[in-house]
Amino acid sequence: MPLGLAAAAPIGRRLSTAAPTPLSSLTDALLATRLASHLLTTPHLPAALLPTAPLPLPVHLHILRHPALPPASKLSFFLAATPPASPLLESTFPVLLRALAAGSPPLLDALLPFALSASPSTLLPALLSFLLSASRLDAALSLLDSAPPDLLPRLAAAALPSLIASQNLSAAVPAIRRLLPIASHPPPVRETNRLLLALSKENLSDDFRYVFEEMSRRGLPSNVRLYNICIHAFGKWRQLDMSLGLFAAMKAATPPVEPDICTYNSVIRALVVGGRVPDALVIYDEMKSSGIEPDVFTYRAVMNGCCKSFRMDDALRVFHEMRGIIGVSDVVVYNSLLDGLFKVKKLDEACSFFETMVADGIQCSASTHNTVIDGLFNNGRAEAACRLFYELRRKGQLLDGIAYSIMVREFCKEGIGDQVAEAVELVKEMEQQGFSVDLVTITSLLIGFNKSKRWDLEEQIVKFIRDSTVLPDAIRWKSNMMVALRGPHGREKDGTPLFSFDGNMEDVMSLVNHVGHTGTDEEIPNSDPKDDWTLSPHLDHLAKHADSLNSSVVFTMHRGQRVEGMGPKTFDADMINTYLSIFLAKGKLSVACKLFEIFTNLGNKGTSYTYNSLMTSFVKKGYLKQVWAVLHERGGQLCPNDVATYNLIIQGLGLMGKADVARTIIDRLSKKGVYMDIVMYNTLISQLGKVGKVEEAGCLFEQIIRSGMKPDVVTFNTLISINAKAGRLKEAGKYLRRMIREGIAPNHATETILIFLDKEIEKTR
C-alpha cells in the first residue's frame, strides 16, 4: 500500500468524520493515487482518467478528504465523477460541502445546478444550510428561487433560524419577510425573540410590525419574553393601544402567560412615552400594594416620566421611596431628577440635590456635568456654567464632547464676535481631545458665523476639523441652498400661500381632539366587575379598553430638537432647521418659507421643530390662518406635536381675543395627559390678563405652585403688570414681594413694570 494511504482510518467509521478512508483494494489505491496526483497539478479532471465503471465509495471519500487538494480540485472531481443518479450522493455530498465551506465558501454556489438535477429533496436542504452558515445569502436566495414549490415551505423553515442568526441582520430582513409567510412552521420561540429584539434595537418598526403580525396569524407562543419585547417596542414607538392590547392578550392566552416585573416595567414605560404619566403612577402604586417589588428600571421609568412632565413632587416622592427600599440607586436616576429640577426652574433645589448625590457616594458621570452646565445656562446662570466648565477642564475631570457642544451653542447663540471666536477655539480643543465634532456643534457654529458675520472663522474650521464627512457635507449643503434660493420666487408676501386654510378658525377644538385617547373630555368609565385576584386593576382596565386609545398619539413629551443628529436619515431636516432658525431670527420669513418649499418639493418631511419655527413667526406677524393650516395638517399625522406647539395655539387664541377658549383647551389637554410647562402658563396668564380675567390668572399661578414648578421672572412680571393695569395695586405688590422672597432676579422688563406700578400708587395717594 502506498505510504500516503497507510494512516487511513478503518472503513467502519462514520462517513461524516474528517479522517481519510482506507481503500478496499490495491486497484482502488492506485486509482485514487493517480487521480490525486493529477488534481494536485490542475483542478481540471479529463474524462480519460476516469474508468468506465462508477468509482467505488472509498475512492470518492479519499479524494474529497485529501488534505493537500485545493477545494476547486475536489469540486471538479465531484462534478466529473458523480452522475446525478449516483447512489453514493448521500455519503459524498455532505463531505464535499464541508470541504468547500472550510476551504472556499464561494464554490458552494456552483453546486446549485447539480443539486436541482440530482435529488432536490435530499441535496437542497443540506446545500442551503451550508450556504447560510457561510453567509452566502445571495446564493441561498437563488436556491430558494429555484427550489420546487412542494419543497419550498420546508426549505424556508430551515433557512429562517440561520437568517435570524446572521451577523448582518439588516441585509437578511427582506429575505426573512419573504420566507416567513411560506415557511412550513414558524421559527423556534428563541429565534423569534432574537429577531424581534434586534428589529426593536434597530428601530425597524415596519419590519417589526410585519413579523409580529405574521407570528400572530400563526398563534403567538406562550412566552413571557416575547410579550415583553413586543410591549416594550410598541410602547417605544408610541403605539400604546398595541402595548396594552398585548398585556390583555397575555392573560387571555391558553395557558395564561404570567406577567413579570419586566412586563410591568415595559407597560409603565409605554404609558410614559404616550404621555399618560398619571396612569403610570397609579400602576406603580398598585404594583407596590400587590407585593410586586419595583426594581431600578421601574424607578427609572416612573421618575423619568414625572421629570419630563414637570411633576417634580411625584418624582421626589418616588425617589425617596426608592432610597428607602433599595438604597442608593445608579447615576441615571439622579441625573434624571437633576435635569427635571433645572427644567422647572428650581435652581436652589437642583444644587441641593447635587450635594445629596455626592453625599450618597454617587460617582458623577459626564452626563451629570452636562446636565448641570446646561441647567445653569437655562436658568440664567451663564457665568456659573462657564466657571464650572473651565474648572472641570482645568482639573482634567469628566468632560465629553457634549459638554463642549453645549458651550459652543451658548457662545454662538447671541452672535457676539469674541464669543464666537471662543467657540471656535473650543472646537479646536475638541479635536485635540479626540472628541467628534458632530452636526449639532457644526450647525451651532454656522448660526454664530451668520449672526456675527465672522466668515473668516468659517474658513478656519475647515482646516482643522478632521471629520471628512460632516463638515464638508454641511458646507456643500449650504452652497446648494444659496443657489436654490436665488431661483424664481413667485409668492406675493412672506410665503403665506404655502399654507392655505379654508376651514372655520373658530373650530379650534378639533385640533385638541387629536390628542389623547378619546374624542371627549372624560376618561373611560371603569364599570368592569371587580377582580379581587388582579394585581393591577387600573392596568387591567386600560388593557381592556386598549382599542379606544389613539393608536398613534400625536403628542410627544420630547420637545422638538433643531438637530436630531441621526446621520443621513435626518441630515437634510437638521440643516433646514438650522437655516430656518437663522432666517427667522433675522425676520426673513419669506426666505424661510421659500427654503421650506424647496425642501418639501424634494419629498422631504419636516420635524416638530420645523413647523413650530414657522408657526412662531406666523403668530408674531398675525398670520393666524397659516398657523391653523399647519396645525390641521399636523392633526393629520404630519408629525407629533409637543408642548411648544400648544404654546403657539394659546398665543394664537390670545391674538384672536379668545382667552376663554384657550383656558378650555388647557383644561382638556391636562385631562388627556398633555403636561404644561412654565411657558404655557405664562402665555395663558398674559392672555387672561389682556381680557380682564385677572382673578383667573391668579388661580393659574396657584396651579403652577401646586404642580411642583417654580414661577420664573416672566411669570411675576406678567402678574404684577396685569394687576397694576387692573387697579389691583395691593395684589401687584404681593407678587412683587413674593418675587423678592423667592430670590428671582429682575430683568429690564421688571424695571419698566415697576415704574408703571409706582406711578399708579402715586395716583392713589
Is 700:681 a contact under the CB 8 Å cutoff? Answer: yes
Look-up of cell digits 447671541: 414
What is the distance between the alpha carbons of residues 493 and 491, in angstroms, rounded to a whole number?
Answer: 6
pLDDT of the residue at 19? 43
pLDDT of the residue at 521? 41
Instruction: Give the residues of the chain that fall short of pLDDT 50.
Output: 1-20, 491-492, 514-522, 551-554, 636
Across the strands, what pairs with 641? 555
Count the Cβ atoms, other than its own, within 10 Å of residue 168: 9
What is the distance between the alpha carbons of residues 483 and 703, in angstroms, rounded to a whole number?
Answer: 51
110, three cell numbers = 456552483
What is the distance between the alpha carbons of residues 183 and 188, in angstroms, rounded to a whole number?
Answer: 12
Note the pLDDT tens digit of each residue in 304-361. 999 888 888 899 999 988 888 877 777 888 999 999 999 888 888 998 888 888 888 8
Alpha helices in 180-311 (DSSP H): 189-201, 205-218, 224-236, 240-252, 261-273, 277-289, 296-308
Please provide residue 257's backbone torsions phi and psi, each rounded to the nearest 5 degrees.
-100, 120
For helices 366-378 and 401-413, angle between their N-to-C axes, nearest 10 degrees: 10
Contacts of 191 (CB under 8 A, 6+ apart): 160, 161, 164, 165
On the CB side of 699, CA atoms within 13 Å amount to 6
Burial class (CB in 10 A: 0-12, 13-18, 19+), 329: middle
Is 271:280 a contact under the CB 8 Å cutoff? Answer: yes
255-264 core/surface letters (b: 16 or more CB in 10 A; e: else): eebebeebbb
For helices 470-485 and 571-585, angle between their N-to-C axes, nearest 10 degrees: 60
Please provide residue 151's backbone torsions phi and psi, each rounded to the nearest 5 degrees.
-95, -15
Count the Cβ atoms, other than its own, within 10 Å of residue 336: 23
- Residue 345: which of 648, 616, 745 has the closest Cα? 745
pLDDT of the residue at 166? 82
pLDDT of the residue at 500? 60
pLDDT of the residue at 246? 93
488, three cell numbers = 424664481
Instruction: Spell out the long-range contacts of 616-619 with Cβ–Cβ below 8 A and sequence spacing 24 or more.
Output: 616/584, 616/648, 617/584, 617/589, 617/592, 618/589, 619/648, 619/651, 619/652, 619/655
Where on the phi/psi map is residue 743: left (φ > 0), alpha (ψ -120 to 50), or beta?
Answer: left
Count the Cβ atoms, other than its own, within 10 Å of residue 479: 10
User: Model-level pTM?
Assistant: 0.76
